[in-house]
Amino acid sequence: MDKSRLPTSDTISRITGVSKSTVSRALKGHPSISAATRERVVAVARELGYAPNAVARSLVTRRSGVIGFIIGDMSNPFYPEQLERLLRLLALRDMQLMMFHIPPGQDVADIIPVLLQYQLDGCLVASVELSSRAGDLGARHGLPTVLINRIPANHHACAVLCNNRAGGERIARFFVERGVRRLAFVAGKALTSTSRDREAGFMAGIEATGTALFARAVGDYTFEGGYRAGLDLLALPERPDAVFSANDIMALGLLDALRAQGVAVPAEIAVAGFDDIRAASWPAYDLTTITQPIDTLLLRAIDLLAQRIADPTLPPETLYVTGQLTIRGSAC
């Protein structure tokens, strides 16, 4: 009935008459244990609802089966969507996840001591806004770390990224093929590699056709920022024909700004985003965007992490996955 009364390996040992060592080995299917002994131990353990205390096990094995998930601001729904998939994928491997939220203004470096206390097996860093010092976790503290959609500084950590550049280029090509000429870009946070790479790809795609970028605004990766960016673009002496927003959540704000100003989408201005968050497919927005292959991305990240947990001497690696253009009503 009480927490302190959970059965221990000693309980099983006393009931079955074999030693704790044997209980431990029997339960983890160690080959040297006789079938008869194993069966008896397993039966008693099951009957008592016994499971080895994960804390004690972690202390001796130096493996906790828990990985840390580090995120910053979650107002972009893309993060929660990743989280849900991640939990599903980890459950398949019997791994648990501990959350670490870095509030605005703080940095990964600030919580490293806390992180280190918990004997985590590894870390996934999912915020594009967090400093590159996240790589320190791996390099200086021996904690296997994989960055998601973030370029590791000094190659000190692993990373899995959606090919942001290719995605930006794809959008440019899509617009240009449809004869759009006055192309605008709405940037996310200036310091993030995702925004810069998506922009670089977009620029490359435009320049390949001999044209130049028509206008640029900044939306800081937020809905409200996207809304303001939309108003900024509409205030220009001449309006763009199409806008590529560096992520979806800004694109939604942008679409609402256009709607508020009576602009017809896509007839007057076409809009495309990046991520394919759930809201992108809601009829109110119906956003053309680059769909990030989240499951693949996370699967690769988990694989990379699992390999480093198994062998910490493995060198860092950076992997790319490719997003697909999803055409919807906002640009078609």
Choose from a copy of itself, DNA, none: what does 313 bind? Cβ within 5-8 Å by kind: none
Q: Binding DNA by CB under 7 A: which of 15, 48, 57, 87?
A: 57
Choose from a copy of itself, DNA, none: what does 37 bind? Cβ within 5-8 Å by kind: DNA
Q: Binding DNA by CB under 7 A: which of 8, 131, 261, 296?
A: 8
CB of 237 to a copy of itself, least distance (A): 25
Residues of span 241-260 touching DNA by CB under 7 A: none
Question: What's the CA gap between 196 and 187, in Å, rounded?
Answer: 8
Is-contact 170 164, C-beta < 8 A? no
CB of 158 to a copy of itself, least distance (A): 16
Backbone angles phi, psi at 146, to 5 degrees: -125, 125
Q: Determine the interface stretch with DNA among 12-20, 64-72, 166-174, 270-278 (rule: CB under 7 A).
A: 12-20
CB of 197 to DNA, least distance (A): 41
Q: Determine the interface stretch with a copy of itself among 78-86, 150-158, 233-241, 295-303 (rule: CB under 8 A).
A: 78-86
Q: Binding a copy of itself by CB under 8 A: which of 185, 223, 244, 274?
A: 223
Considering the rule CB under 8 A, would residue 154 count as an interface residue with a copy of itself?
no
Question: What's the CA gap between 68 and 297, in Å, rounded?
Answer: 17
Is 315 buried (19+), middle (13-18) or exposed (0-12) by CB count in 10 A? exposed
Is-contact 64 97, C-beta < 8 A? no
Residues of span 90-109 touching a copy of itself by CB under 8 A: 91, 96-101, 103
Q: What is the DSSP string of 213-240?
A: --EEEE-TTSHHHHHHHHHHHHTSSS--
Give, in degrees to the nearest 5, the angle at Cα 281 between 276 and 286: 110
Q: Which two tokens stand for residue 128?
A: 């594009």
CB of 256 to a copy of itself, least distance (A): 4
- Nearest to a copy of itself of 211, 329 (CB atom): 329
- Nearest to DNA of 9, 289 (CB atom): 9
Is-contact 43 103, C-beta < 8 A? no
CB of 65 to DNA, least distance (A): 11
CB of 2 to a copy of itself, least distance (A): 4
Considering the rule CB under 8 A, would residue 141 count as an interface residue with a copy of itself?
yes
Q: Is 315 left (phi over 0), alpha (psi -120 to 50) or beta?
A: beta
Q: What is the SS3 assignment for 69? A: strand
Q: How many CB atoms lie within 10 A of CB 16?
A: 18
Is-contact 269 240, C-beta < 8 A? yes
- Nearest to a copy of itself of 36, 264 (CB atom): 264
Distance from the Cα of residue 296 to its chain's centroid: 11
The site for DNA (CB under 7 A) is made up of 4, 7-10, 17-25, 27-28, 31-34, 36-37, 50, 52-53, 56-57, 59-61
